[in-house]
Amino acid sequence: MKKTSIFFSVIISIAITFLLINFFTPKPDIVKKIKELKQQTQPSLDTFLNGINKETSFYDSIENLIQKGRLIEAENVLNQLVPRYPNNTHLHALKGMFYDAKGQYDSALIEYNFAVIKNKNPYVLNKRAITFLKLNHFDEAIEDFRTAYAMNIDYSLPLAQTFEKINKNDSAIKYYKLYLEQYPNAKSIQQKIASMQSH
């Protein structure tokens, strides 16, 4: 019995000592650790983000050439880059925009289709849908706008406009209302809904 009580006394002493050491030992400052980690990773993150910004800016400059009708310059750039980077979906989307601007809709669709197969994203789906509209392929345009809308609610607006264009007012109103949920101050959309509902 005496041995048992000595054993328990030793165990309790060890436990108390452990608790006291644990209580008085300084804990690592989590905020300090986070700052240290940020300092270690920030240069790499900055380099990565700068690369993305430069690439985006480059793509935007090509798109700007196309939108301003400077098609020869855009074509020269695209003809150099697409063969070098044949799997770059953004370049194929830009080439689709180039063909669309020239009125070569079938060629535009070929480029957009390639981009969509490689990387289905709302930007390319929207561009392809616009080309489908120019060809009066409303079902295909609606399908692309719906897929884009599933990824980004902003595409409810072109979807609503397409339904309105083909006189499917109930569907148009539905998507205009969904757009208004995100942009409640869009007065022109509010007026459009009121006008459509009064007919």
DSSP secondary structure string for all residues of 128-185: HHHHHHHTT-HHHHHHHHHHHHHH-GGGHHHHHHHHHHTT-HHHHHHHHHHHHHH-TT
CB of 55 within 8 A of CB of 72? no
158-188: per-residue pLDDT in tens? Answer: 999 999 999 999 999 999 999 999 999 999 9
Other residues' Cβ atoms within 10 Å of the Cβ of residue 96? 28
- Is the pTM above the cut of 0.75? no
Tokens representing 170? 């109930």
Which residue numbers in the chain have pLDDT < 70? 1-8, 10, 15, 18-28, 30-31, 33-56
Encoded amino acid at 14, one letter: I
pLDDT of residue 21: 67
In the block, which residue shows the tokens 């986070």?
34
Specify the pLDDT at position 55: 54
Q: What is the pLDDT of residue 150?
A: 95
> What is the CATH T-level fold of the domain 43-131, as seen in this structure?
1.25.40
Domain ranges of the chain: 43-131, 152-199
What is the per-residue pLDDT for 16?
Answer: 74
In this prediction, residue 17 carries a pLDDT of 72
- Per-residue b or e along 160-182, where b marks 16 or more CB atoms closer than 10 Å to that residue's CB: bbbbbeeeebebbbbbbebbbee
Distance CA(121)–CA(93), nearest Å, equals 11
CA distance 36 to 102: 54
What's the pLDDT score for residue 199?
A: 75
Q: Tell me the percentage of the chain whose pLDDT exceeds 70.
A: 75
Asked whether 63 and 91 are in contact (CB, 8 A), the reply is no
